[in-house]
């Protein structure tokens, strides 16, 4: 883009033209002391901006996160000359923030905050960089840099009343099996299982109590179905909340949506993949066989979002924290 006069530059140009015209009409040579410096300033600064090369923009994109979170975006600008620049990043739908930073094109760090408003796959960038001369008389704008993609996951709500069948399937039923023995403590074991009496006899290690029903890792699949009139955003929140709660217990959790199928697994990488699938959940019905094979079914229709675990069916809002039940995706 060609250099453009700023408002200040327009005022200086107007003063220079007025002084020149007055001097020509009335012979007031003293006005040249105004016109000449103004004209020189306009010419020199305009030449500096015209000769400015396209700056390079490096961006530290925000990491993937959940709707409602706020993250920092880092920006660095480098140019052939150390000039004042204004960087305006394009923000995709579903992202909010004042993506404008004023800095200097010498590689220094600058940043701004971006809020994840809606789940989905969004982009930050490209950037529009406006270069200004030292006097602020001219500007020139460049569009530089690439888009950086990020995934906004659905919100995860705490569950206050999970179905009993779900608690049992993830090893959190109220009743435990018969005492089976003790073993060495492993990272992640609940403190309630530490056998303090037996541990006192082993000064170099702790041991935990084991039960007859241990040894088989819980595995379940969550199926998500969004009928006509249903809200995919609320269904995604429900499925993400259940998924997160089950994975936190150590269970291997699979996911079935109309667009994607993930085999049961655990760990942070699997959690991110499953949440990413829910980030783009839309309308669609699962085959009846897929729903029957799943231990947990989340269904959204015109009446709301309901969760079925075995034969236990209830509204998701009754399971989530009342303070968060109406939170969107």
Tens-digit pLDDT profile for residues 94-119? 999 999 999 999 999 999 999 999 99
Per-residue pLDDT 10s for the chain (329 aa) are: 788 998 998 888 888 888 777 777 666 665 667 778 888 889 988 998 888 889 999 999 889 999 999 999 999 999 877 788 999 999 999 999 999 999 999 999 999 999 999 999 999 999 999 999 989 899 999 999 889 999 999 999 988 765 554 655 554 444 454 544 556 756 555 555 566 666 666 666 666 655 544 444 578 899 999 999 999 999 999 999 999 988 888 889 999 999 999 999 999 999 999 999 999 999 998 888 888 888 899 999 999 999 998 778 889 998 886 445 555 56
Residue 325 within a domain: no
Q: CA 154 to CA 119: how far, in whole Å? A: 5
| Predicted local confidence at residue 323, as pLDDT | 43
Rg of the chain (C-alpha set): 31
Domain span at 12: 4-51
Both 168 and 303 in one domain: the answer is: yes
Both 168 and 289 in one domain: the answer is: yes
- For the chain, how many residues are written? 329
Q: Tokens 């006899």 correspond to what residue?
A: 201
Closest CA to 184 of 202, 169, 164: 202
Q: Tokens 């969550």 correspond to what residue?
A: 222
| Predicted local confidence at residue 259, as pLDDT | 94
Report yes or no: 52 and 81 within 8 Å, Cβ to Cβ.
Answer: yes
Each residue of 223-257: b (16+ CB within 10 Å) or e?
bbbbeeebbbbbbbbbbbbbbbbbbeeebbbbbbb
Number of domains comprising the chain: 4
Both 148 and 242 in one domain: the answer is: no
Residue 324 within a domain: no
Both 168 and 290 in one domain: the answer is: yes
Render pLDDT for 159-201 as a digit per residue (tens, 0 to 9): 876 555 465 555 444 445 454 455 675 655 555 556 666 666 6
Residue 259 within a domain: yes
How is residue 234 annotated by DSSP?
H
| Mode of pairing for the β-strands spanning 95-96 and 70-78 | unpaired
Helix H or strand E encompassing 51: helix 32-51
Both 275 and 168 in one domain: the answer is: yes
Q: CA 296 to CA 112: how far, in whole Å? A: 41
Residue 328 within a domain: no
**DSSP string computed for 144-211:** ES--EEEEEEPP-PPBSS--HHHHHHTT--SS---EEEEEE--TT--GGGB-HHHHHT-TT--EEEEE
Both 109 and 45 in one domain: the answer is: no
Residue 158 within a domain: no
| Predicted local confidence at residue 215, as pLDDT | 44
Report CA torsion sign: 129, 132, 137, 142. Answer: negative
Q: Give the CATH number for residue 96.
A: 2.60.40.10
Residue 264 within a domain: yes
Q: CA 171 to CA 191: how far, in whole Å? A: 16
Both 205 and 238 in one domain: the answer is: no
The values of phi and psi at residue 232, to 5°, are: -60, -35
Residue 327 within a domain: no
Both 273 and 223 in one domain: the answer is: yes
| Predicted local confidence at residue 179, as pLDDT | 46
Both 117 and 193 in one domain: the answer is: no
H-type alpha helices, 176-325 = 196-200, 232-248, 268-279, 288-293, 316-319
The residue among 16, 33, 51 that closes a domain is 51
Residue 40 within a domain: yes
| Predicted local confidence at residue 137, as pLDDT | 92
Both 168 and 301 in one domain: the answer is: yes
Closest CA to 220 of 183, 250, 199: 250
Helix (H/G/I), strand (E/B), else coil: 260: coil
Both 183 and 236 in one domain: the answer is: no
Dig out the tokens for 122 from the structure. 């969004």
Q: CA 94 to CA 152: how far, in whole Å? A: 9
Both 260 and 202 in one domain: the answer is: no
């Amino acid at each position: 883009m060609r250099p453009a006069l700023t408002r200040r530059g327009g005022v200086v140009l107007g003063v220079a033209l007025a002084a020149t015209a007055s001097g020509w009409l009335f012979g007031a040579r003293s006005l040249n002391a105004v016109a000449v410096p103004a004209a020189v300033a306009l010419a020199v600064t305009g030449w500096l901006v015209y000769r400015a090369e396209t700056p390079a923009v490096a961006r530290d994109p925000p990491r993937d996160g959940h709707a409602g979170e706020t993250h920092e975006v880092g920006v660095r600008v480098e140019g052939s000359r150390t000039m004042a620049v204004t960087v305006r990043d394009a923000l995709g739908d579903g992202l909010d923030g004042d993506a404008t930073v004023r800095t200097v094109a010498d590689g220094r760090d600058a940043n701004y905050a971006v809020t994840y408003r809606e789940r989905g796959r969004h982009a930050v960038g490209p950037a529009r960089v406006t270069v200004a001369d030292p006097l602020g008389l001219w500007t020139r704008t460049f569009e530089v840099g690439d888009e950086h993609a990020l995934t906004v996951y659905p919100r995860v709500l705490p569950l206050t009343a999970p179905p009993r069948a779900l608690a049992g399937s993830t090893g959190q039923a109220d009743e435990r099996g018969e005492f089976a023995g003790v073993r060495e403590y492993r990272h992640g074991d609940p403190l309630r299982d530490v056998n303090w009496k037996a541990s006192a006899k082993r000064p170099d290690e702790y041991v935990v109590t084991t039960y007859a029903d241990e040894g088989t890792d819980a595995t379940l699949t969550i199926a998500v179905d969004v009928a006509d009139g249903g809200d995919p955003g609320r269904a995604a929140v429900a499925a993400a909340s259940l998924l997160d709660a089950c994975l936190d217990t150590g269970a291997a959790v699979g996911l079935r949506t109309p667009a994607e199928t993930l085999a049961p697994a655990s760990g942070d990488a699997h959690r991110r993949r499953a949440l990413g699938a829910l980030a783009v959940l839309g309308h669609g019905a699962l085959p009846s066989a897929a729903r029957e094979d799943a231990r947990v079914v989340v269904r959204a229709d015109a009446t709301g979002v309901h969760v079925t675990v075995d034969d236990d069916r209830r509204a998701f809002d009754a399971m989530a924290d009342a303070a968060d039940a109406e939170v969107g995706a």
